Amino acid sequence: MLVTLKEILAIAEEGKFAVPAFNVYNMETVMGCIEAAEEAKAPVILQSYSRLFTQGSAYYLAPIVLAAAEKASVPVCFHLDHGASEQETTRAIRYGATGVMIDASAFDFDKNVEITKRVVDTANYIGIDVEGELGHVGTVNDESMDEFTNPDEAKEFVEKTGVAALAVLVGTAHGRYKKPPKLDIERIAVIKEKANVPLVLHGGSGIPDDQIIASIKAGIRKINFGTDICYSFLDGVFAVDRSTVAVDLFMKEPINCVKQFALSKIKLLGAEGMAK
Ligand code: 13P
């Protein structure tokens, strides 16, 4: 069933686990994630980067995600990942997203608040919840990163904007890590206590399992996986013999690889059996 970001995060909050948020790119990645969620009886978030909405793919992909979510027996939220502007979040909502992220984290605090609040006001008015970001989570290729999210600022940010979820900078980055990250678990716990909102971890691919588990104990309720979904899909593509020409048959293995990857993360995050 299709649910909103707030609804799915409430399930995670109640069960003290994290909902996996899988970045999807095509029908096959959607199929793999949904099959995993059904098998594990887990709530899941299927999300797409803003470029899929701005460059046209979402015209085809959004109806696939929505059809899959509506057919599913488990709660599924369709979320925009890293919307860069109010125009982008509006477009995603027009395509049926039931949650949107506005990422104004590269701006200073006041500007971030201003942009995020404007998006929250509009989205909430039509029943859509918003994820904001405070502390810019960059990529593994960045030379340096912002200072980690300040807990007092996080509290103020949540109060001023009304976001339903907050992405924080606590040691992760987007992409494939060159060496394992070291998360500031204590900081997550303090932010959670002060800001009292479901917290989001970006850059989920490659975080060691023990740190994922510790971060959830400290208050993380949504963890994003993008890079490793792509690798699992592509590993499947490269494993198939070229003599398989019918594309639907060719895609069975890539779909299965995505499913196995999604299942492993559902279990790690404690989401198995938590569908309500
Ligand atoms: P990874 O690609 O590092 O898993 O990060 C995904 C993400 O955080 C999407 O916003």
At 146 the pLDDT is 73
Measured in angstroms, how far is the CA atom of residue 250 from the centroid of ligand 1?
27
Measured in angstroms, how far is the CA atom of residue 172 from the centroid of ligand 1?
9
Tell me how many degrees the CA angle 145-103-268 measures, rounded to the nearest 5: 75
At 39 the pLDDT is 98
163-189 pLDDT per residue, tens: 999 999 999 999 999 999 999 999 999
Query: pLDDT tens digits, the chain, 276 residues: what are they?
Result: 999 999 999 999 999 999 999 999 999 999 999 999 999 999 999 999 999 999 999 999 999 999 999 999 999 999 999 999 999 999 999 999 999 999 999 999 999 999 999 999 999 999 999 999 999 999 999 887 778 999 999 999 999 999 999 999 999 999 999 999 999 999 999 999 999 999 999 999 999 999 999 999 999 999 999 999 999 999 999 999 999 999 999 999 999 999 999 999 999 999 999 997
Going by alpha carbons, the residue nearest to atom 5 of ligand 1 is 203
55-107 pLDDT per residue, tens: 999 999 999 999 999 999 999 999 999 999 999 999 999 999 999 999 999 99
- From 23, 82, 199, the mutation candidate for ligand 1 (largest count of ligand atoms within 8 A of CB) is 23
Which residues have C-beta within 8 Å of that of residue 63, sequence separation ≥ 6? 96
Q: How far apart are CA 9 and CA 25, in angstroms?
A: 23
Measured in angstroms, how far is the CA atom of residue 170 from the centroid of ligand 1?
14
Q: How far apart are CA 150 and CA 121, in angstroms?
A: 24
Q: What is the CA 193 to chain-centroid distance, rounded?
A: 22
Structure tokens at 238: 């490269």
CATH class of 5-268: alpha beta
Which residues have C-beta within 8 Å of that of residue 228, sequence separation ≥ 6? 204, 205, 206, 261
At 9 the pLDDT is 98
Task: Answer yes or no: are the C-beta atoms of 42 and 33 closer than 8 Å.
Answer: no
How many other CB atoms are found less than 10 A from the CB of residue 272? 17
Structure tokens at 65: 């995600």
DSSP-assigned beta bridge partners for residue 139: 174
At 20 the pLDDT is 98
Going by alpha carbons, the residue nearest to atom 10 of ligand 1 is 202
Instruction: Give the chain as a 3 state SS string.
Output: CECCHHHHHHHHHHHCCCEEEEECCCHHHHHHHHHHHHHHCCCEEEEEEHHHHHCCCHHHHHHHHHHHHHHCCCCEEEEEEEECCHHHHHHHHHCCCCEEEECCCCCCHHHHHHHHHHHHHHHHHCCCEEEEEECCCCECCCCCCCCCCCHHHHHHHHHHHCCCEEEECCCCCECCCCCCCCCCHHHHHHHHHHHCCCEEECCCCCCCHHHHHHHHHHCEEEEEECHHHHHHHHHHHHHCCCCCCCHHHHCHHHHHHHHHHHHHHHHHCCCCCCCC
Measured in angstroms, how far is the CA atom of residue 227 from the centroid of ligand 1?
6
- From 45, 46, 105, 224, the mutation candidate for ligand 1 (largest count of ligand atoms within 8 A of CB) is 224
Residue 14 buriedness (CB in 10 A; 0-12 / 13-18 / 19+): exposed
